[in-house]
Amino acid sequence: MILTNCVIITNDDNNNIYYDGAIFIKGTVIEDVGKASEILEKYPEEEKIDLGGRLVMPGMICGHSHIYSAYARGMAVSRPTDNFFNVLENLWWTLDRTLTLEDVSLNAYTTYMESIQNGVTTLVDHHSGPNSVEGSLFALRDAATDLGIRTSLCYELSDRDGMEIRDKEIKENIDFIKACKEDDKGDMVKAMFGLHASFTLSDETLNKAREAMEGLYDGYHVHIAEGIEDEWDSLQKHGKRIVERLEDFGIITENTLAVHGVHINEREMDILKKHNTPVIFNPESNMNNAVGCPPILRMMEKGITVGMGTDAYTNDMFDSMKVSNILLSHNACDPTKGFSETLEIQFKNNPKIFSKYFNREIGVIKKGAYADIITFNYMPYTPLTKDNWGGHALFGLTGRLVNDTIINGKFVMKDKIILNVDQEEIHAKSRERAREIWKLV
């Protein structure tokens, strides 16, 4: 298939833009990209899809989210949420305890659909639902497969719901990692080992996790120092800072995702750098929970690869980019900070961090990369060039302007219609279940 009559931002190493461009997709992969006249001449027999002059970019990557929080939209919380711990206990941990496997599946469908609508083609999730652990990652996988979105899944291991549930959580991670090794749905579904956070994980539990992972994999997905309470807990109980503690357990590796890092110090940053462990920045979530601004600029100065997620605050990475820009400049009291760093985080680092989990590159339009591509109804009223497209991406684009989403060479949304499933029917079921769940929280 050839996508033609479009303006293509490639995000490749040379930052190429094609104003009258075309992309030849063969199967799941981009076979060629360039000027439309040349591509059409080279492959005359291929089916052509006219994009009507639309703007085209690589699909967006969301590096950290929580599908399980979907029912929280519009939900009233009656108990206090006046500090980070109470936000967890009285909102998120109260909600996740209510979820059945049916809810996990509905949450997956609604979140993945909204992600696709906002141009997200790869979603990295960190799941929790202590009363429906068994089979939960498989339920998420099945929804992703049904919709055709690329995903990485894990279950957030924690001691907070008791040892019986903890053991089920270890088993679910391991069962899913093994299942993905056998069948990764054509490189569409990946598994990591999820850990909640240092302050809900005893030494015994971390040892069990590590033993279960022996010989399997060394990629963990873990919240680090999101609230200051997490660092206090680690210092008080273990006499070490969080990253030092997790390093001792062999959890800080280049395949691990260290999420947040709001309160890490210079020494912890040096450890992350030493192991090439990426840090995932979630600017809106950090502001919403009032936990502070992570030292992102300092991490980047030190050479840590910082990526971006949403922590489920939104499913629109363009929203997250806007907030990243202003949070970083506001926090540094320096209006020159934030802009270029945000573009680097989203468009250079996310593709770099997450491509390595898959067999081919994602987040770039070039020969050999996966055909994960989005189109926008966006007519720029200032020049758009190879040197300034980031300014358009940050200030002009939003997820709501996405018209088509192509993942792994297939349209999963065309002209704003989600294909493959009945979105209205799923939303109706989700509203019905949300009403029931809200009575329980």
Residue 21 or 307 having the CB closest to Zn ion: 307
CA distance 29 to 410: 10
Q: Which helix (H) or strand (E) holds 413?
A: strand 410-414
Say how many CA atoms lie within 13 Å of 6 toward its Cβ.
29
Shortest spacing between CB 224 and Zn ion, in angstroms: 10
Is 156 buried (19+), middle (13-18) or exposed (0-12) by CB count in 10 A? buried
Shortest spacing between CB 311 and Zn ion, in angstroms: 4
Residue 284 or 311 having the CB closest to Zn ion: 311
Shortest spacing between CB 280 and Zn ion, in angstroms: 9
Residue 146 or 233 having the CB closest to Zn ion: 233
Residue 160 or 392 having the CB closest to Zn ion: 160
CA distance 195 to 88: 15
Residue 103 or 311 having the CB closest to Zn ion: 311
The first and second tokens of residue 415, run together, are 């002209």
Residue 49 or 291 having the CB closest to Zn ion: 291
Shortest spacing between CB 259 and Zn ion, in angstroms: 6
Residue 114 or 311 having the CB closest to Zn ion: 311
Q: What are the start-end ranges of the H helices in 56-162?
A: 84-87, 93-96, 101-117, 136-147
Instruction: To the nearest 10°, report the CA torsion of 204, 205, 206, 212.
Output: 110
Strand ranges, E, within 272-345? 279-281, 306-308
Residues interacting with Zn ion, by CB under 5 A? 311
Shortest spacing between CB 281 and Zn ion, in angstroms: 12
Shortest spacing between CB 429 and Zn ion, in angstroms: 26
Compute how many other C-beta atoms are within 10 angstroms of the C-beta atom of residue 29.
16
Q: How many helices (H) and strands (E) does the chain have?
A: 17, 17
Shortest spacing between CB 309 and Zn ion, in angstroms: 8
Give me the residue whose beta carbon is nearest to Zn ion: 311
C-alpha distances (whole Å) from 363 to each of 61, 330, 348 are 7, 28, 8
